[in-house]
């Protein structure tokens, strides 16, 4: 069984890791993944009573983090998501307490500069205590409650011990200052996290807030409805500048549609009656009406949002490592603080100094900056990819992409457009002109639906030739077609067809590239038509980018060696594996991995499912179809190789930022502990090492979202 729940108001990453671990140990739960960026808890297991499961999870949350509510997951509408449901009353109280604390600190600063204006000690000391109680009460209350429940090593307990210890050694003003800046840092850390989460989700959530439905039974009046209420078959209006709200087909009107929000493609495409449009694109120029083909939950905008949310729940190795590290880090630092307080004091007798140093250790022992910064960095990377029309299957995919050393590219539909076009027409002697040869071949091929036949007919029509299908056309499987034109037998096909009819004079050497279609009249060879699948306009540039990243590019194709080498030379591909059968591709990809290292395979995501699954990373190119999304680790919504270079570069940057956060957080904590041992770092520094570093790591993570 699978279930998705919401853990509302769970913002502490350290507590979230503890809750997730406790839930995972429940007898009825097999897997549990909590994503702090979306507050979603995804479960698999074998429970019988869903409500009992929720109650048990609520008990776990209550034992670890106060105020967390277990709720059913129900995706809010875009309009509802835009309205913040945060407790503004709680914010007001927190801000008031912080302002009062800042006034206190201003007084403290003035009395330090001008001691004569200070209040008498008999008045000043009670004010200190009142300020401390106002600021520390929520922290002390939660710490006391958690101690009774056996939860000792959390930030509330550590901050309580640190500040109460400061009071015990006659550092009352500093205790007030430390708890003040802890509360300020905690407040801004929560705001920064919420802001980052909202910014990332807004970047990928393209769902409409409303839909203009045409009332076909009421005289064509427009009825504004919530998108989730619109049914399949409804007629909707999309005005210039509006978002395409649901997947559908144009019924009336003509316009140009900007698909960049979904596919990343910057060039608008023309839309006319019959054109199928994906939700999330923007109608740029004309008013159109559309027939709704899919409800909101099945439309592209929701699929993209699902992909991003599911990706966020797939945790990378570095995230799992940091979570395990955090479990041992805090107890180690706490026991180290205890040792610092006792051992040097017994030797030197300076109990005041070493207890103070130990208190700084307690303040800095919370691992929140470590636990929070890594998932937020990966979530930002997933959001950036989505903005560029790239869907990822999780943080683990980003790690795998960052390590890719070779990219195996399926030729047809990936390096090339997948559409056959006539490249050249060659005639022999003066029997017929190029135009006449093309006209004769088109007349024979007009009755066929084969892509090669279609390309010949299309080229003839493009040159203004009137194509009339020949009579008595016969198709010979694997050879070509034979028909009658103007009373003459015309042959259109390959060399085997020429041999069958004893045609004389056709070339013994195959064309340098592409597929050749030989044309003969009777047993007289007239010429040939060269047809090829053209390289995409941006293939050479994209492959150059990949080569610039020291990525080996290998083209896989079933084409002949000469044709494959021609495309490879034109685009700059490093190596070619030609004349492959579909079943050969998986073993070839495994050979490439053995030769170069971790390998990404990019195909169409439908026909190449075994290869996509067998590669280190599988990418589906140019398809938003369900089959592609299911088969691949990465789905490129726009059929462009430039997206491959972008995602490889983005993955390296994301992993780099995640490690920057980890190294920075650990380095600052170690530095402050070292300076504390030498007598230079105060508890104020320790507060920065906890909450200040968390905020800086959050801001560093969000940089990835804005990366081009």
Active site residues: 410
DSSP 115: G
Token pair for residue 70? 């277990």
Q: What is the rounded CA–CA span in Å between residue 36 and residue 54?
A: 18
Cβ neighbours of residue 335 closer than 8 Å, sequence gap 6 or more: none
The strand pairing partners of 476, in sequence order, are 480
Q: Which of 228, 234, 187, 189 minimizes the C-alpha distance to 210?
A: 228
**Strand, helix or coil for residue 39:** coil
Residues in the chain: 708
Residue whose entry in the numeric block shows the structure tokens 């992409």: 401
Q: Nearest to residue 553, comparing CAs of 537, 566, 563, 539? A: 539
If you search the block for the tokens 């007289």, which residue do you land on?
524
Q: Taking a C-beta distance cutoff of 8 angstroms, is the pair 43, 12 a contact? A: no
Q: In which residue are the tokens 């002390």 written? A: 140
Residues 443, 490 contacting (CB under 8 angstroms) = yes
Tokens 């680790």, located at residue: 633
Q: Which of 282, 288, 272 is nearest to 244 (CA)?
A: 282
DSSP 330-387: HHHHHHHHHHHHHHHHHHH--HHHHHHHHHHHHHHT--HHHHHHHHHHHHHHHHHHHH
Quick check: 704 and 377 in contact, CB under 8 A? yes
Cα distances (angstroms) measured from residue 70 to each of 8, 50, 62:
6, 12, 10
- CA-to-CA separations, 312 to 142, 192, 316, 500, in angstroms, rounded: 30, 18, 10, 61
313, 42 contact by CB (below 8 A): yes
Phi, psi of 601 (to 5 degrees): -110, 135
- Spatial separation of the C-alpha atoms in residues 565 and 571, rounded to whole Å: 10
**What's the token pair of residue 471?**
């009579």
């Amino acid at each position: 069984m699978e279930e998705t729940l919401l853990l509302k108001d769970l913002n502490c990453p350290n507590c979230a890791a503890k809750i997730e671990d406790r839930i995972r140990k429940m007898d009825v739960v097999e897997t549990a993944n909590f994503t702090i960026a979306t507050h979603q808890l995804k479960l698999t297991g074998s429970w019988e009573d869903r409500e009992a499961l929720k109650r048990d999870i609520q008990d776990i949350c209550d034992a670890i983090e106060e105020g967390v509510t277990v709720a059913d997951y129900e995706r809010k509408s875009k309009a509802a998501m835009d309205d913040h449901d945060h407790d503004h009353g709680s914010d007001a109280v927190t801000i008031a307490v912080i302002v009062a604390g800042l006034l206190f600190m201003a007084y403290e600063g003035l009395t330090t500069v001008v001691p004569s204006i200070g209040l008498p000690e008999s008045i000043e000391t009670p004010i200190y205590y009142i300020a401390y109680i106002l600021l520390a009460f929520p922290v002390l209350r939660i710490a006391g409650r958690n101690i009774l429940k056996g939860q000792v090593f959390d930030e509330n307990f550590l901050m309580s011990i640190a500040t109460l210890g400061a009071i015990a050694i006659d550092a009352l003003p500093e205790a007030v200052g430390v708890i003040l800046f802890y509360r300020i840092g905690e407040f801004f850390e929560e705001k920064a996290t919420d802001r980052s989460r909202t910014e990332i989700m807004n970047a990928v959530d393209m769902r409409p807030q409303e839909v203009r439905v045409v009332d076909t039974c009421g005289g064509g009046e427009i009825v504004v409805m919530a998108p989730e209420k619109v049914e399949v078959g409804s007629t909707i209006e999309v005005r210039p500048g509006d978002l395409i709200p649901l997947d559908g087909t144009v019924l009336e009107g003509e316009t140009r549609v900007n698909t960049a929000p979904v596919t990343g493609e910057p060039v608008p495409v023309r839309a006319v009656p019959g054109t199928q449009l994906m939700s999330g694109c923007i109608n740029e120029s004309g008013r159109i009406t559309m027939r709704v083909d899919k409800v909101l939950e099945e439309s592209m905008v929701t699929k993209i949002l699902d992909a991003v949310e599911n990706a966020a729940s797939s945790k990378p190795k570095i995230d799992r490592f940091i979570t395990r590290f955090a479990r041992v880090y805090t107890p180690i630092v706490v026991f180290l603080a205890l040792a610092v307080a006792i051992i040097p004091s017994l030797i030197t007798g300076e109990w005041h100094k070493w207890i103070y140093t130990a208190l700084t250790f307690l303040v800095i022992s919370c691992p929140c900056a470590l636990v929070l910064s890594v998932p937020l960095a990966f979530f930002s990377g997933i959001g950036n990819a989505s903005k560029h029309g790239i869907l990822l299957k999780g943080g683990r995919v980003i790690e795998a992409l960052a390590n890719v050393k070779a990219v195996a590219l399926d030729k047809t539909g990936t390096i090339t457009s997948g559409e056959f076009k006539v490249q050249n027409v060659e005639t022999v002697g003066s029997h017929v002109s190029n135009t006449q040869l093309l006209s004769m071949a088109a007349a024979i091929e007009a009755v066929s639906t084969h892509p090669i036949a279609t390309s010949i007919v299309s080229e003839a029509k493009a040159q203004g030739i009137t194509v009339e299908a020949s009579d008595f056309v016969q198709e010979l499987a694997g050879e070509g077609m034979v028909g009658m034109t103007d009373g003459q037998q015309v042959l259109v096909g390959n060399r085997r067809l020429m041999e069958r009819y004893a045609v004389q004079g056709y070339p013994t050497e195959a064309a340098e590239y592409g597929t050749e279609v030989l044309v003969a009249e009777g047993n007289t060879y007239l010429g040939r038509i060269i047809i090829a699948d053209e390289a995409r306009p941006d293939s050479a540039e994209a492959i150059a980018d990949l080569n610039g990243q020291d990525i080996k590019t290998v083209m896989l194709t079933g084409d002949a060696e000469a044709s494959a080498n021609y495309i490879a030379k034109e685009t700059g591909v490093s190596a070619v594996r030609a004349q492959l059968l579909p079943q050969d591709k998986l073993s070839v990809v495994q050979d490439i991995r053995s030769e170069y290292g971790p390998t990404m395979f990019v195909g169409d995501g439908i026909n190449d499912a075994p290869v996509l699954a067998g590669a280190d990373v599988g990418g589906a190119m140019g398809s938003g179809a369900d089959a592609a999304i299911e088969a691949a680790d990465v789905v490129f919504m726009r059929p462009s190789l430039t997206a491959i270079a972008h995602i490889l570069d983005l993955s390296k940057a994301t992993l780099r930022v995640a490690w920057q956060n980890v190294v920075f957080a650990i380095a600052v904590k170690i530095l402050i502990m070292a300076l504390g041992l030498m007598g230079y770092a105060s508890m104020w520094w320790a507060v920065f090492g906890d909450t200040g570093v968390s905020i800086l790591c959050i801001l560093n993570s969000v940089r990835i979202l804005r990366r081009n």
